[in-house]
Structure 1
Amino acid sequence: MTLKPLGDRVLVKPAPKEEKTSSGLYISSGAQEKPQRGKVVAVGEGKRDQDGNRIPVDVKAGDEVFYGKFGGNEVKVDGEDFLLLRADDIYAIIEE
């Protein structure tokens, strides 16, 4: 199955949760925080302005991004977990 986000929505594959601290200690599953980093999988065409013109989304498929901790909706596609966000919930593109 494939998903095509609508409007200014973006489909993101979240990075795996951190299981260890930087010093090597394991974190219990209940204490692990939700990731705020992920890879863009699909992007909608953008929302429309008052005149009906499309405003393109600033990210593209393949971009690594930081997003809000509580933004978006979790979706499961073919057994994999994804996050469906509004473009406004994405704070930055990670360039390495």
Structure 2
Amino acid sequence: MAKKDAPLSLRPLDDRVVVEPTDAEEKTAGGILLPDTAKQKPQQGKVVAVGPGKLSDKGVRTAVGVKVGDTVIYGKYSGSDVEVSSKELKILRESDILAKLVK
């Protein structure tokens, strides 16, 4: 019996975004297998939760520019790494996201 993913029990606040990083590349473009020590930390991932948006000085929420399911690229040392339900996740501010991949 296949195990279903448990619902995410993490709700980001304000303009924060929860991202599940993609796995590090196992091979180079030329087909060379990389050992664990040579793998680079991934800088892209899939958005799994989005906060309601930042509260302005006038009390109005500004919409966040990404939504659940988007694939984003973020800075190498951005955000905080957390583990929830045995999943490695990253919590970022919207301003830490550099780009959104468009299909």
**TM-score band (shorter)?**
over 0.9
TM-score by length of 2: 0.89
TM-score by length of 1: 0.95
Q: Which stretches in structure 1 are left out of the alignment for 5+ residues?
A: none
Partner of 1:22: 29
Equivalent residue runs for 1:13-92 within 5 Å: 13-92=20-99
Amino acid at match of 1:93: K
Q: Computing the radius of gyration over CA atoms, which structure comes out larger, 1 or 2?
A: 2
Residue 80 of structure 1: how far off its partner (Å): 0.9
Identity of aligned residues (%): 47
Distance in 1 (CA, whole Å) between partners of 2:40 and 2:80 is 16
Correspondence for 1:5 among 12, 18, 37: 12
Q: Which stretches in structure 2 are left out of the alignment for 5+ residues?
A: 1-7
Distance in 2 (CA, whole Å) between partners of 1:14 and 1:81 is 8
